[in-house]
Amino acid sequence: GENVEQHPSTLSVQEGDSAVIKCTYSDSASNYFPWYKQELGKRPQLIIDIRSNVGEKKDQRIAVTLNKTAKHFSLHITETQPEDSAVYFCASNFGNEKLTFGTGTRLTIIP
């Protein structure tokens, strides 16, 4: 079935350190993998995405890597700042018309 597993469910890192969140998907037909950030009480916002023909993508302090063979993709945040504290969701399209989301990771940056 269409399943996205996301780990860890909670993550606390010291300000300035790096944070890594990992997701695994179940269907090799998946070809689009976005990441969303949701601050408390706010809407999810797209922060970065990657397609299956690319192995890595960077945008300033954020990067996403994709391993198609292992069917997993990861979000990397470097030089973390207090404003990075939020819930992060990975997602996959499973080759069809909607996104299936992971269960979320609550990231807390410790000053």
Partner 1 sequence: DSGVTQTPKHLITATGQRVTLRCSPRSGDLSVYWYQQSLDQGLQFLIQYYNGEERAKGNILERFSAQQFPDLHSELNLSSLELGDSALYFCASSVARTGQRGYTFGSGTRLTVV
Q: For binding to partner 1 (CB under 8 A), which residues are involved? A: 31-32, 34, 36, 42-46, 49, 51, 89, 93-94, 96-104
Q: Whose Cβ is closer to partner 1: residue 60's or residue 111's?
A: 60
User: Whole-number minimum distance, CB 63 to partner 1, in Å?
Assistant: 17
User: Whole-number minimum distance, CB 27 to partner 1, in Å?
Assistant: 12
Q: Using CA of residue 110, residue 12, residue 24, residue 68, what is the dihedral sign?
A: positive
